[in-house]
Structure 1
């Protein structure tokens, strides 16, 4: 793809972001900032919770929860909430609660399987998720969503903590940071967990071969080890690395809605 086309796509996406964030302000509640003291991590962790506009009106409704990594960035917080609402309003996908988790500068620690991913998972499972379930009307369906290093963590959660999340969104996962994850995914696919899970993978217009080597490696494991309890799909968003997750979110949310309705 030529540089001119990529620049045009980047400008188009930037304009779309501005429109969607404005749309969010009209139809979706702005995020409620909160924080909890994590005894497991030994630090205070912040996050924002985005509730559907109908949350108060539908007092008897319960909602799936999407836990979005790198939550301090607009495209992982406000924009993803806007995408979720847009799809709900236009094509009837289920409304969701979005929890955008801040990294506090620790993304390479928390998302790395060979560093702090295990402790971060314990924080999610034992502290943050019970906190959210205790304060909001959640349905029990939980999704993890991550881009790049966060996508690597989504694969780690899929491989090493089956059952914690019902679906995993991995946008351009940076597998090259920890290539043993490929074998871990392969081993996970050979397991019988007794529950169904979903994995949605998005590739972008990556110029570095190391991204494609890792992405194709994950696809190869999924193809070679079919598991009736694992539904997965791949998609391609021909945009530069920071932007590929924006259309990826829309595709992943539509995929999850379709799978959940079957």
Structure 2
């Protein structure tokens, strides 16, 4: 098999006789990376990559929620989640937030809960589990205070992770729910310890009934204890979750795999938790809309009212399209993305 060597674009241009050369390239910056010292994580440092929304500079008095991204190093999941955050600045479908990506160094140790017998995990994962309690201390005592001291945060924090990082999210919700306000667990490895965190979730809820919290939970087509552990957690949420914990479960098993789930469901999570209202406007006659007429007094009053989540009607985009003529200028909170299978988040 012949191997084709990939060359930079400038080199390719020079290889073609008479081809024009590109101008000097300029770097495209997604965020800023800081090397943060930590005494808790065995004295190691961590790269923390941070993206500010465009409103941060434009509105200097405004404060913002923070989303902490596990496995969020520059060469890990930061870039594609930052892309979702940037897409909001084009479509305004959810509220702006500060994104803080935390580099994982040995994720199979530092994000993994303690186990009764580490030997089978060491054979399967090539790492000794049990670092999650220390990692929570690092977040609570070192990283979160550092972010809050240096950026305009509003006190509302979320944590997001996928797979083993999502297991850390679930374990944190059960063990130390007051650490974050919102928990986004995308395909958590709930096979862990023979589905411990699904089997014992009801007991955790009884011991740690923290105040108002929200959980976004989703899984793909993994099967085995991965699926069963998730279903056990959902059952506990259904019957034993504190009333103050609002939750939603989106079952993506028919459409996504463990490898494809993270990006689309992260977008869905942000829209679900931080969705922003919009209005339904009359279309232009150029595209088949109604004839242009003077707005009625009722329509003018609707336009003068600020749209908030509390005064908006929740509906799907399809419902809005079918009822468009009755919805002109009204505030809508569109239920974008896949429909949840169950939960209390929309109650």
- Give the alignment of 1:58-69 within 5 angstroms: 58-69=59-70
Partner of 2:49: 48
- 1:220 shift after superposition: 1.1
Q: 2:192, 2:93 → 1: CA distance? A: 38
Deviating above 3 A after TM superposition, structure 1's stretches of 4 or more consecutive aligned residues are: 191-194, 258-262
Partner of 1:84: 85
Q: 1:83, 1:95 → 2: CA distance? A: 11
Q: 1:74, 1:242 → 2: CA distance? A: 17
Partner of 1:129: 144
Q: 2:92, 2:268 → 1: CA distance? A: 12
Does structure 1 retain, via aligned residues, the 8 Å contact 2:68–2:157?
yes
- 1:45 shift after superposition: 1.1
Closer/same/farther in 2, CA of residues 192 and 127 from structure 1, 3 Å limit: closer
- 1:89 shift after superposition: 3.6
Closer/same/farther in 2, CA of residues 192 and 239 from structure 1, 3 Å limit: closer
Q: 2:201, 2:29 → 1: CA distance? A: 37
1:202 aligns with 2:203: no
Q: 2:182, 2:132 → 1: CA distance? A: 18
Closer/same/farther in 2, CA of residues 261 and 140 from structure 1, 3 Å limit: farther
Partner of 1:113: 113
Listed one character per residue, the Cα deviations across residues 64-116 of structure 1 (whole Å, up to 9, x for unaligned) are: 11111111366731221221232354244210111111101x11111112001
- 1:51 shift after superposition: 0.9
| Equivalent residue in structure 2 for 1:224, among 239, 242, 246 | 239
Does structure 2 retain, via aligned residues, the 8 Å contact 1:155–1:185?
no
Closer/same/farther in 2, CA of residues 85 and 107 from structure 1, 3 Å limit: same
Q: 1:184, 1:161 → 2: CA distance? A: 15
**Does the residue aligned with 1:55 lie in a helix, a strand or coil?**
helix
- 1:184 shift after superposition: 4.5
- 1:47 shift after superposition: 1.5
**Does the residue aligned with 1:99 lie in a helix, a strand or coil?**
strand
- Give the alignment of 1:1-262 within 5 angstroms: 30-41=30-41, 42-72=43-73, 76-87=77-88, 89-104=90-105, 106-114=106-114, 115-178=130-193, 179-191=195-207, 193=209, 195-206=211-222, 208-237=223-252, 238-258=255-275, 261=309
Does structure 1 retain, via aligned residues, the 8 Å contact 2:163–2:187?
yes
- 1:39 shift after superposition: 0.9
**Does the residue aligned with 2:248 lie in a helix, a strand or coil?**
strand
TM-score in terms of structure 2 length: 0.63
Listed one character per residue, the Cα deviations across residues 167-226 of structure 1 (whole Å, up to 9, x for unaligned) are: 1000110011233222453223225745200011111132x4221111111111111214
RMSD (Å), alpha carbons: 2.2
Closer/same/farther in 2, CA of residues 254 and 191 from structure 1, 3 Å limit: farther
Greater share of residues in helix: 1
Unaligned runs of 5+ in 2: 1-27, 115-129, 277-307, 311-347
Q: 2:80, 2:172 → 1: CA distance? A: 23
**Does the residue aligned with 2:243 lie in a helix, a strand or coil?**
coil
